[in-house]
Amino acid sequence: MSILSLNNVVKQYKDHLAVNHISFDVPKGSIFGLLGPNGAGKTSLIRIITMITGADEGTVMMDGEKMKIEDQHHIGYLPEERGLYKKMKVGEQLLYLAQLRGMEKKHARDTIIQWLEKFNAIDWWNKKVDELSKGMQQKIQFVATVVHSPKLLILDEPFTGLDPLNTNLIKEEIYRMNREGVSIIFSTHRMEQVEEICEDIVLVNNGQVILEGKVADVKNAYKENKYRLEFDGVLPKKIHNEGFQIITDSDKELIVQLDPGQDSNVLLKSVIESGYHLKSFNEILPSLNEIFIRKVENTNI
């Protein structure tokens, strides 16, 4: 079942078609990557999902029903361009934002305190936002995004400004909330983060979906029959390579590509017959970054 479904969504800005009949489903309980280059239509889609703007055509469904304004109390949105009031004190601001999401003041205060204690930030309560570092501001923005316990969380570049320690802290909270049933839309330009965090992805470009599916399935679909072989001892210099091509070789490693129609048994047979001891044998799958570049370049031709 899907937490969110978009069906033929269109958004036009004057002479620019930002979203061109886009459809996709976000599986309930998933961490879902919403990807695309700058200007692809991601921000327009997020603004439609969060009801900041409306779609010109198409429908947006949440939990199987057409999205209504009350659903915004169940969504948390951390924008790439941060939205904190610089001159407002942290505690006052978090209370205000939580109440905008429908929380009763005492419950909001208690929950905010729990989050600030978790982030070792309780001493920031009476500090103004512009007195904090960018990393501290990002942690406060994250608290503002999740304080009302949303069931759908939209995170746009959530690790910006964070050092590795605090990146891991936020990442662990994302995983924890997901384990507890929160569905997460994760948008970033960092493809290595997508590979690590996301289960499913959709890639948009020029306002259209150009790729979607489970991360593992997408990588398998774009593999090129390349393998990495590591050897004990000296790398064999003479190896019968019928059925495959040697791409690169180094001291104790070969990277090869099978010819069309060949399978890995041909490669293994040749290696064994070479008389050298094979230490490891692994298929090389393309990275999401490589797939991203290839798909976007092809659609921009």
Q: Helix %, strand %, coil % for the chain, to 5?
A: 35, 30, 35
Mark 50-76 as b/e (b = at least 16 C-beta within 10 Å).
beeeebeebebbbbeeebeeebbebbb
Third-level CATH fold of 2-213: Rossmann fold (3.40.50)
Prediction pTM value? 0.87
Helix axes of 105-118 and 134-146: crossing angle, nearest 10 degrees: 140
Predicted confidence band of residue 237 (pLDDT cuts 50, 70, 90): low
The domain segmentation of the chain, as residue ranges, is 2-213, 224-284
Stated length of the chain? 301
Q: Which of 248, 239, 286 is nearest to 267 (CA)?
A: 239
* 111-168 confidence digits (pLDDT tens): 999 999 999 999 999 999 999 988 899 999 999 999 999 999 999 999 988 899 999 9
- Both tokens assigned to 102: 């429908």
Q: How far apart are CA 92 and CA 239, in angstroms?
A: 71
Third-level CATH fold of 224-284: Alpha-Beta Plaits (3.30.70)
* 72-82 confidence digits (pLDDT tens): 899 999 998 77
What is each CA distance from 129 to 88, 113, 121, 137, in whole angstroms? 6, 17, 12, 7
- Both tokens assigned to 39: 């200007």
What is each CA distance from 267 to 54, 242, 264, 283, 289, in whole angstroms? 55, 8, 5, 12, 28
Q: How far apart are CA 209 and CA 16, in angstroms?
A: 17
Question: Residue 19 CA to chain centroid, in angstroms?
Answer: 20
* 174-221 confidence digits (pLDDT tens): 999 999 999 999 998 888 899 999 999 999 999 999 999 999 999 999
Strands, sheet with 31-35, edge to edge from the N-terminal-most edge strand: 75-78, 152-156, 183-187, 31-35, 200-205, 208-214
Q: Which of 193, 192, 215 is nearest to 203 (CA)?
A: 215
